[in-house]
Structure 1
Amino acid sequence: MKAVLVCFIIAFGFFQTYAQTKADFVKDEFIYKGDTLPVRVLYPKDFNPANKYPLVLFLHGRGESGSDNEKQLMHGANMFLDSAFRQDYPAVVVFPQCATDSYWANVKITTDQNGKRHFSFRKSGKPTKAMTLLLKYLDERLADNLYLDRQRYYVGGLSMGGMGTYELLRRKRHKFAAAFAICGGDNPKNVKKYDDVPLWLFHGEKDDVVDPQFTKNIAAELERRGATYKLTLYPNDNHNSWDSAFAEKDLLPWLLSHRRK
């Protein structure tokens, strides 16, 4: 009985720590023309609005869509909550949440008779409702925050969020200093719109949800255009290559080392 009690206390203490840590992401929302973008914001420790801080936007995958302003923290949040990161790289980290009836990227998705999804990435077209909200959030809400360093805006995401990362880069040229995309995709013809942004691309070679060839095609076009990029392929990873990407110790230091000229 005593051993069970000790285990319960340890487990409860862990849960409390986890809950309090996740709660460090402050809840917010942005409303535009009646539509709401749920947002969670992590401020640096000892935040001082008189200082200048880099901004990191993180775009979640399809599975974390919704309106609860919770699920978007499922993947990636712990990477930014790491005590060493927060000590060495004070930054404002923003996790917006895409609604279930929208998508970060303007991509046509079809499902075959076996349930497999196929993605057709577009070169143009109007942004989705979710992307429209994100663009307005950048232009209206974040633009008012004088504590953000305009030369140090960064964006990254996984799966649908990786696709959204490419789209945000092409719709907001000259806005971001660097970016990363995990198991995402884009039309290679769009690369010319963001080939001046240092990029780190990740994908699992065994991904059966989003074909790794999408990332390889983007990398090939970046290479052809003489762009600055890094490509990391995980031979044994399926779609959840974000676990391996988040374990890359150089990812965030690399990202935050860049400054927009």
Structure 2
Amino acid sequence: MRAILFFLILVLCIACNSKQDTAITAGTYTSVNKENLEYYLYRPKNLKEKKPGLLLFLHGGGEAGAQLKHLKLGGPPKLMEEAYPFPFLVLAPQHPYADKWWNTQAVYNLLQDVVAKNNVDTNRIYLTGLSRGGYAAWELAINHKETFAAMAVVSAMAPVPYAHWLNHEMPIWLFHGAQDSIMPASEADNMVAKLKELKFNVRYTKYPKTGHNAWDKAYTTDSLYIWMAQQKRN
């Protein structure tokens, strides 16, 4: 019943919000290891909490090394532009290098800075990433395992040994296209099998006729954000 009520509120907020209602802040952060990260921070107008939750989103290789505005072409940043009523703040950093992995320590430093300055509820920090950003999400989840209340990974490499190092209390949702020729669906298949074997709370959405771009479908799934908002770190 609570999930149905939350969904109805979400739909009503989508209907009543307009593009002029967006509250997107662009910023630049320099981490202690001298990594410069530009980022967007989004505070939905429907969000009235004094101590809100926060979703950290890591984009894929297509936007790496590009301009910050290119983040708005897809995923949660695109929804920011459309004034989507996320039930939490959304933090979307820009990966500055086209041909390198994410510097996850710099991302974590940025996250800590944003959390402190925006009075974020540290028991409601969520993590998601697509493709290259999805791999970075796995890395963040194992290196800072007491930070995240839930995570969602889309179209990404999923090293099965990582399953042993994750916080067992953290719910996980994977999305992947069955016809992905860049990052085979077997990555997600094998990780999900291992997570289930280890008794994790795991969900898996596999799109049968979708290639590498499973994120357009995944990030426009309202139930993803409803599910996240229901999770809270013990």
Both structures adopt the same fold (TM-score exceeding 0.5): yes
RMSD (Å), alpha carbons: 2.2
160, 166, 170: which one aligns with 2:138 = 166
104, 123, 127: which one aligns with 1:131 = 104
86, 91, 96: which one aligns with 2:88 = 91
Gaps of 5+ in 1: 1-16, 105-129
- Correspondence 1:244 to 2:217: yes
Match of 1:4 in 2: none
- Correspondence 1:232 to 2:229: no
Shift of 1:80: 4.7
Inter-partner Cα distance in structure 2 for 1:247 and 1:136:
28
Moved over 4 A (4+): 80-83
- How many residue pairs end up in the alignment? 213
Change (3 A) 1:82 1:256: farther
Flag the structure with larger Rg. Answer: 1
Higher RCO (C-alpha under 8 Å, 6+ residues apart): 2
What residue identity is the alignment partner of 1:172?
Answer: H
Match of 1:63 in 2: 62
- Give the structure with the larger strand fraction: 1
Change (3 A) 1:233 1:90: closer
Inter-partner Cα distance in structure 2 for 1:244 and 1:44:
21
Shift of 1:25: 2.1
Shift of 1:247: 3.1
Shift of 1:167: 1.0
Match of 1:127 in 2: none
Match of 2:100 in 1: 102
Task: Indicate the percent of aligned positions where both proteins have the same amino acid.
Answer: 26
Between stretches 180-189 and 67-76, larger displacement belongs to: 67-76
3-state SS in 2 of match to 1:136: helix
TM-score, length of structure 2 as denominator length? 0.83
8 Å contact 1:38–1:67 — kept in the other structure?
no
Gaps of 5+ in 2: 1-17
8 Å contact 2:23–2:44 — kept in the other structure?
no
Match of 2:153 in 1: 181
Shift of 1:211: 1.1
3-state SS in 2 of match to 1:44: coil
Inter-partner Cα distance in structure 2 for 1:79 and 1:146:
21
8 Å contact 1:157–1:180 — kept in the other structure?
yes
